[in-house]
Amino acid sequence: MITVGREARVFVATEPIDFRTGVHGLVAKVAQSFNGDPYSGDVYVFRAKRADRLKLLVFDGTGMALATKWMEESSFAWPPVQGGVMRLTTTQLTMLLDGLTEWLRVVAKPVKRPTRVG
């Protein structure tokens, strides 16, 4: 099982990829197209042209992991197709992977740190 810590950053490629692309092609896409570091531990999510498939790419410290998921009877909720990358919280990623459409409406609220104790 691949686990993602709460501190991990999650990025979703908003344009569909050729789903035949393997781990090396996706690593290159992260580095070249997104100016990201595929070896940082960040999670990269890629969507297929069909809305029922996705790929996750993450470096876990020992190697690059590529996971594929497709929905049997439904599809994933995706934002509109456009160029670039969008950032998700780990909660939104979990909701996306579960096939929930509400992840598009979940917004992380910043927490104010106390300025003094007492």
Mean pLDDT of 49-73: 91
Mean pLDDT of 102-118: 60
Nearest Cα neighbor of 74 from 51, 94, 56, 103 is 51
pLDDT band of residue 116 (cuts 50, 70, 90) is: low
Q: Are 14 and 79 in contact (CB under 8 A)?
A: yes
Q: Is 115 exposed, middle or buried (0-12, 13-18, 19+ CB in 10 A)?
A: exposed
The yes-or-no verdict on residue 99 having pLDDT over 70 is yes
**Max avg pLDDT among 51-65, 69-83, 91-105:** 51-65
